[in-house]
Amino acid sequence: MSINTGLTFITASDDVLTDKVKRQALNDVLQRLAKASEWAKTHPDEYAQVFARVNDVPLPVSQRLHGWGIESLLPVETSDVNAVQGVDDLFVKKIFLHKAELRS
């Protein structure tokens, strides 16, 4: 068991999801992220250069990180919840956190 799942989640409150304007803005951001992700996948060299510059890391570090994969925008699945719960369980076992249950 690892102490990090490597997963990143984009979340939104019910207030955002039920507000037409805010939901539209969120949808716009998600579409832009998807487009940027596609560009990164089809332009790996250019992406590595941009990532290195923006994050102030050496190009070889950026290239290695890119080699591990580019983020994808996908719905949360049961395996994701289980992975996060596994990290939580490990932290509880090692007494880094008190027991908390994830809500689906």
- Percent of the chain scoring above 90 in pLDDT: 56
pLDDT tens digits, one per residue of 40-52: 989 999 999 999 9
Distance (Å, whole) CA 5 – CA 23 = 28
Whether 66 and 20 map to the same domain: the answer is: yes
The reply to whether 5 falls in a domain is no
Instruction: State the CB neighbour count (10 A cutoff) for residue 47.
Output: 19
Give the distance from CA 33 to its chain's centroid: 11
Whether 59 and 91 map to the same domain: the answer is: no
The 3-state DSSP class for residue 96 equals coil
Contact indicator for 28, 16 with CB cutoff of 8 Å:
no
Work out the mean pLDDT of the chain and round it to a whole number.
Answer: 87
Residue 2 in this model has a pLDDT that exceeds 70: no
Whether 18 and 65 map to the same domain: the answer is: yes
pTM of the model: 0.67
> 94 lies in which domain range?
76-104
Whether 65 and 23 map to the same domain: the answer is: yes
Residue 21 in this model has a pLDDT that exceeds 90: yes
The reply to whether 7 falls in a domain is no
